[in-house]
Copies of this chain bind each other. A is one copy, B any other.
Amino acid sequence: MPERTSISKRVIERLSEYRSTLDEFDTTETRSIYSHDLAKLCGVTAAQVRRDLMTIGFSGSSAKGYDVSELQQTVGDFLGFGEERRMALVGIGHLGRALLDFFADRNPKLILCAAFDINEMRINRVIHGVRCYAVSQLTEVAKEKRANMGIITVPDAAAQDVATALVEGGVSGLLNFAPVQLRVPNHVFVENLNISTVLEKVAYFAGQSGDKER
């Protein structure tokens, strides 16, 4: 029961950016940072930074700005870095493989606890420390491994079935790369990431002559 009023996706995204930007800092060297500087590093305005930090109840000092390590800690706690997240990845194809490599030893609070595929060639192996299983065992293994998030990188037609199985396995958050609208129970959060759409957006705005982002 940390947060009171529900906080928008946009704010959460920015908080995540602030935190990872701060991670690059050597806290023994840079002890504190001004909203202006953090803003510039993240491509937002200073007022926005202050407002966002205000919504999670974090305060700085007027002369020093924000204490870097305190801020890292507070934002991290807020985003739930206290409790670990266990992710199951389904679809060890091109994209799935890239993600496996990427998250293998990345954020220690987002743990890839299992991977799944339908292709015999891909299962019963260990890739970057992550064990690969057959999708037929998805629900079962997800439960056993206590996965609470799922990443879907299977062909479009398989996405819904995979989502259903993940949910049955106890997952309550999905990142879906297939351009398909998933039907899931209300308590499950779904984020769709359609790379084609993003590219079409870039194409559109790249077309305009002098139109600045945002």
Contact = CB atoms under 8 A, between A and B. Distances in A.
A198 B206 contact: no
A165 interface: no
A186 B20 CA distance: 25
Given A6-B211, A187-B209, A209-B187, A198 B193 contact: yes
Contacts of A42: 181
A175 B191 contact: no
B102 A94 contact: yes
B175 A80 contact: no
Contacts of A43: 181, 192
A134 interface: no
Contact of A12 (B17, B107, B175, B200): B200
Contacts of A197: 13, 16-17, 20
A41 interface: yes
Interface in A160-214: 171-175, 179, 181, 186-214
B196 A212 contact: no
**How many copies of this chain does one complex carry?**
2
Number of contact residues on A: which range applies? 35 or more
Interface string A92-114: 01110111011000110110000
A9 interface: yes
A190 B214 CA distance: 9
Contact of A95 (B98, B179, B202): B98
Nearest to A14: B197
Contacts of A9: 201, 205, 214
A116 to B, nearest CB: 17
Contacts of A149: 199, 202-203, 206
Nearest to A197: B16
A164 B200 CA distance: 22
A98 to B, nearest CB: 4
A171 to B, nearest CB: 8
B189 A213 contact: yes
